[in-house]
Amino acid sequence: MNDVGVILPALNAARFLPQLIAEIRLLHPDFRVLVVDDGSADGTAQVARDAGAEVAVHPENRGKGAALQTGFAWAREHGWEWAFTMDADGQHLPREMAPFLAAAQARGLDVVVGTRMDRTADMPWLRKATNVFTSRVVSRLAGVRIPDSQNGYRLFRVSALEGLRVTTSRYDFESEVLVRLARRGARIDSVPTTTVYGEERSAIHPLRDTVRFFRLVRRLSRTREQERP
């Protein structure tokens, strides 16, 4: 595949980026790497540049969804055909990129979503329960099985994102984009990924982001029929 890039939405991720970017560039030297610094206060943007990545900067924190939208717009403007999204804190392994690309090519997919749900022995029980529940809801709204809808490790056909309208800009964006793409007829499937937990600290606010998710579900439920192709 040609013109493949990686979007890393980053908030105060300076300590993780050098190793992550180095691994991506070692394994896939032809891939573009874009770090979207979403209002960091730890020099994330400069660290990313020093590591060889391209950088887009939000002067103030706007949310992971907004960072991904900036990345998707960058991918379209720079002629990428495929865009990976990965967390910037090392939870996603660059060595697992190849199965995403193979699945997309072999199955004619527009979106490939990583799934950790086949390997949950080390996953905290609350996170597992939350992932199971939200994935069932998102799958029902999308009309396609997505076993790990909260997994940010994904591969998108950039042309499938053209003209996509979303209403969210935080963590709920990752659910919304899957539902709206599925309703437009995008072909979505999953590949297994490894569960990695280290020194990272989640930026998810349990109460606030749960409320946002249920608000999104309500909106998507009301517009189900209008969005069907």
Q: What percent of the chain has pLDDT over 90?
A: 76
Structure confidence at residue 171 as a pLDDT band (50, 70, 90): confident
Pick 88 or 127 by higher pLDDT: 88
The pLDDT, as a whole number, for residue 207 is 64
Q: What is the mean pLDDT of residues 62-85?
A: 97
CA distances from 170 to 2, 64, 94, 117 (A): 30, 5, 24, 23
At which residue do the structure tokens 């439920």 appear?
A: 221
Question: Strand 154-157's sheet: what is its strand order?
Answer: 54-58, 32-38, 4-10, 82-85, 154-157, 111-115, 188-192
Say whether pLDDT at 228 is over 60. no
The tokens for 127 are 């996170």
- Whole-number Å distance between alpha carbons of 189 and 142: 12
The pLDDT, as a whole number, for residue 223 is 74
Q: Tens of pLDDT along 74-108?
A: 999 999 999 999 999 999 999 999 999 999 999 99
Q: 149 near 106, Cβ under 8 Å?
A: no
